[in-house]
Structure 1
Amino acid sequence: MNSPTLDALDRKILDALQADGRASNVELSAKVHLSAPQCFRRVRALEERGVIRSYRANVQPQALGLGVMAYVCLNIDGGQFGRVREIEASIRDFPQILECHTVSGDFDYLLKVVARDLKSLSQFLTDRLMQVPGVDDVRSMICMEEVKGPSPLPVDLQP
């Protein structure tokens, strides 16, 4: 997606939706001072342009028994770079992996992983992730405490 042009009203809508994704169109239009039909059209346009990617509930991991969060650095075997898209597809298939980013530096990927406990994290890394053909090196960092959780994107930062 190219960098979309967003005007002040689009930014207000995005800010309001990030604060409350369940707001009705009428509530949203009142917050951003637009008529309901105009607000609906703008939200729909933001969705169609890919600016709004999805709507979802932000669930507390502990409520699902997921007591461990870790960041995992992963390298691909140098001889396996021809299979990089296959390896990435395997990574996408693991529900324990919440995020995956290609990164610069000493590692190829940075993963955000959840697990029930340290033993299940270890089993996942050893028995599943490290068994993906082409995965060469895996290093994990256990999160001790969440200082700042998932946050809305700052809609007013200028490029």
Structure 2
Amino acid sequence: MPKLKLDAIDRRILAALQRDARLTNVQLADEVGLSPSPCLRRVRMLEDAGVITGYHATLGRKEVGLGLTVFIGVKVERHHDKEATAFREAVAGLAEVVSCHLVSGEADFLLQVVVPDLAGYERLLLGTLLKLPGVSDIRSNFAIQTVKAQAPLPLNHLPEGSKQSPG
């Protein structure tokens, strides 16, 4: 739950920006029913509160030569020592790793990796992943087809409360 209490207008702003982050402030204000100045104040407030953490372009993976997505379960030997910290730092620095999660279950971490092809994955696996600090086991699952990816976050769980906010 965000620290900031979001009202209906904030939720409309967030939904609109998730749908199209390239909206101009004037377009956004029109879409959510505000004038431009209060709309911009709200967007800045949402950014300052860490609700909006950035804006980005979503690229077609195949179109940029990254045709293989691999989900990798990684077991590490120890979680609370220097080796585990070194593992996390190393993974954070790998461009091919587009997400990494500490998980429960058989694996300790779940990585999502993008590479051009199977040969690219083999190079990453043998040249880098198996050499990371503390790695005791790696299990790979190859994506056959992406059904849904990088969807907007659902906002319908946020309470309907009101707040005094700029606007």
Q: 2:156 matched to which residue of 1?
A: 156
- How far residue 81 of structure 1 moved from its aligned partner, in angstroms, is 3.6
- How far residue 123 of structure 1 moved from its aligned partner, in angstroms, is 1.5
2:55 and 2:111 mapped to 1: Cα distance? 22
The one-letter code matched in structure 1 to 2:81 is G
- How far residue 157 of structure 1 moved from its aligned partner, in angstroms, is 2.4
1:28 and 1:124 mapped to 2: Cα distance? 42
- How far residue 4 of structure 1 moved from its aligned partner, in angstroms, is 3.3
Which sections of structure 1, spanning at least 5 residues, go unmatched? Answer: none
Q: How does 1:46-125 map to 2 (within 5 A)?
A: 46-78=46-78, 81-83=80-82, 84-125=84-125
The one-letter code matched in structure 2 to 1:12 is R
What is the RMSD computed on CA atoms of the aligned residues?
A: 1.5
Greater than 6 Å deviation, 4+ residue runs: none
User: Cα 1:119–1:57, aligned 2, differ >3 Å: closer, same or farther?
Assistant: same
Q: Deviations over 1:69-92 (max 9, x none)?
A: 0100001113x6402222101000
Q: When the two structures are superposed, what TM-score results if normalisation uses the length of structure 2?
A: 0.90
2:76 and 2:9 mapped to 1: Cα distance? 44
- How far residue 144 of structure 1 moved from its aligned partner, in angstroms, is 0.1
Which sections of structure 2, spanning at least 5 residues, go unmatched? Answer: 160-167
- Partner-residue secondary structure (3-state), 2:122: helix
Structure number with higher helix proportion:
1
User: Cα 1:119–1:87, aligned 2, differ >3 Å: closer, same or farther?
Assistant: same
- Identity percentage of aligned residues: 38
Q: When the two structures are superposed, what TM-score results if normalisation uses the length of structure 1?
A: 0.94
1:85 and 1:108 mapped to 2: Cα distance? 13
- Partner-residue secondary structure (3-state), 1:112: strand
1:8 and 1:123 mapped to 2: Cα distance? 49
